[in-house]
Amino acid sequence: MWLFIFTELLLFAGLFIVYATYRYKNWQAFHLAAKELNTFIGALNTVILLTSSATIAMSITAIQQKRKILAMVLMGITMAVGVVFLVNKYFEWGLKIQHGLYPGSQTLLEFGKGEVLFFGLYFFMTGLHALHIIVGLIFIGFVFVYVIRNRITFDNYVLLENAGLYWHLVDIIWIFLFPLFYLIT
């Protein structure tokens, strides 16, 4: 699982390289474009994800202490909070698209090339990240069912731990995405 997480990080590393290259070339445009993003929603989402990481970590501890119900509640919170993150993301994207700021749009083409790249990267990277959130939610959902059926118990919780690891990965990628897109103004 650690190795798999490593490959996931490398997947995003490719995107970070692209980001770095284009930011180096168009730093002014990136600076201006980042102002378009709502730092409040971004920060909110950061808090949300960090909370969910904490709850999933707590659920692992709960399982270790044989407190099944508590573990399930904590996993439930994680999933609920993950969904809230996606809802936030939906509104954020929706607003951008309403303003005509999406790849290939007419409004965006009227801006400079730097803005085009910034929003292209923004949608692509946060989109891929959202996809990982969805995968993570499904993963935790399966683990949740397993816990109900007692397939995961205090002495056999590797799967839950892996789900937790995956969720932390999703979290840590966001920790990098957040400053790169929201805080560089």
Residue closer to another protein, measured from CB, 40 or 106: 106
Per-residue contact string for residues 24-63; x = within reach of another protein by CB under 8 A: -xx-------------------------------------
Q: What is the DSSP letter of 26?
A: S
Q: Closer to another protein at the Cβ: 62 or 121? A: 121
Of the two residues 35 and 113, which places its CB atom closer to another protein in the complex?
Answer: 113
Give CA angle at 22 (20, 26), nearest 5°: 120
Binding mask 143-182 for another protein (x = CB under 8 A): ----------------------------------------
CA distance 2 to 134: 20
Query: How far, in Å, are 1, 94, 98, 111 from residue 176 at the CA level?
Result: 21, 23, 26, 26
CA distances from 85 to 81, 82, 91, 126 (A): 6, 5, 10, 12
Compute the least distance from the CB of residue 73 to another protein, in Å. 31
Token digits for 8? 């996931």
Q: Which is nearer to another protein, 18 or 57 (CB)?
A: 18
Task: Check binding of 4 to another protein (CB under 8 A).
Answer: yes
